[in-house]
Amino acid sequence: MTDSPDIFSQQPPQGDDGGHRRRWAYLKRPRFILLFGLFLALLVLAFSVNQIMTTLLHTRPEVTVPKVEGKSLTDALQTLSNLDLSLQYDGTDFDETLPAGTIIRQQPSSGMKMRAGRPIRVVISKGGQAAFVPDVNGKRLAEAQSLLAAEGIQLGAVTEAYSPDQVKGIVLEEHPSSGTIVTKGAMVDLEVSKGPPPSGLPVVPDFTGKSSDEASKWAASANVKANMKEDAQAVGAPGTVVRQEPAAGQPLLEGQDFNLTIVPIVSSGTASRLSFDVPSDVDEATVRVMARDNRGESQVYEGKHKGGSKVELPIAINTTTRFRIYVNDVLQEEKVVEP
């Protein structure tokens, strides 16, 4: 049986008359219709996909853009993913003050509103004479020292403290904390575990940034004497604990007092109020406020608040102070307050 000829691949006969050519054009018409139909189908599909994506995008919630400038690429990705935002690489640049891999610039800038799912464009540092303090918490002292040296950072003072959770020789804290930008050659102090505290002794909670009344109630329940000392230079709400001795997590030995340094109840500084709004796109958030002046930085408040609520804190300052407001550990806002 012979194969039937492919009429679509044949060429029109040479020298054929007009009737044959009309017949040839008629035979070629189905191919044109097929191609045209396929083109229309693709056009409709593309339009439909675009409409669906546009609808989905505009139904996503609006979020506040966090500040990722000065963060490492890893920290920035984590911060953005928590808000359902993505990161878009927008190039690199040299910066002597920031380590390689640090975000130098971002667009849109922090504080702006945008839909979830959108990208934040960032420019990344090529490096300089700065380094990130590595996270050495939970490491043995020798390993911690190696990690610091790999970043060009020196080991500073090493102190010991009891820990109910870590065996002897494990790093409990580092100062400055991990992620802090320092110049190469800087020193990092470490606090290392002495092992579990002796049994039968009360272990001190962390009252820093909390009310002195709360600390007093704990001391009374533990049958411990609490001594309070006001610091005229301390910043924060009156009566807030700024330092404690022993430190959080340490046992109170027999006969040892619990010493607290607090913001003066009647402050000698200028009284003011720090107010800010908790983002409405969260159900509940942990709000933490840090204050920085010419004496350094300290935590002045921490508490939980509902999304969309307004927070007002009484403060007393003696000098120009920059307040950083963190919501769920993401920098939300900075305010400079003059006395």
Q: What is the DSSP annotation of 54-115? A: HHHHHHSPEEEPPP-TTSBHHHHHHHHHHTT-EEEEEEEE--TTS-TTBEEEEESPTT-EEE
CA–CA gap between residue 89 and residue 76 (Å, rounded): 12
Q: Which residues pair with 120 in a beta bridge?
A: 87
Other Cβ atoms closer than 10 A to 20 = 12
The pLDDT of residue 50 is 66
Domains, the chain, with CATH or none: 62-130 (3.30.10.20), 133-196 (3.30.10.20), 270-337 (2.60.40.2560)
**pLDDT tens-place string over residues 104-122:** 999 999 888 988 888 999 9
**pLDDT tens-place string over residues 157-196:** 999 888 878 899 999 999 998 888 888 889 999 999 988 8
**pLDDT tens-place string over residues 274-321:** 888 888 877 888 888 888 887 777 888 888 888 888 888 877 777 888
Q: What is the pTM of this model?
A: 0.47
**pLDDT tens-place string over residues 7-64:** 444 555 555 555 555 555 554 556 667 776 777 777 777 776 666 666 555 567 889 9
The pLDDT of residue 8 is 46
**pLDDT tens-place string over residues 60-97:** 788 999 999 989 888 899 999 888 899 999 988 888 78
The pLDDT of residue 259 is 93
Nearest to 274 by CA among 235, 233, 305: 235
Q: Which residues pair with 325 in a beta bridge?
A: 289, 333
Element (H, E) at 302: strand 296-306
Element (H, E) at 100: none
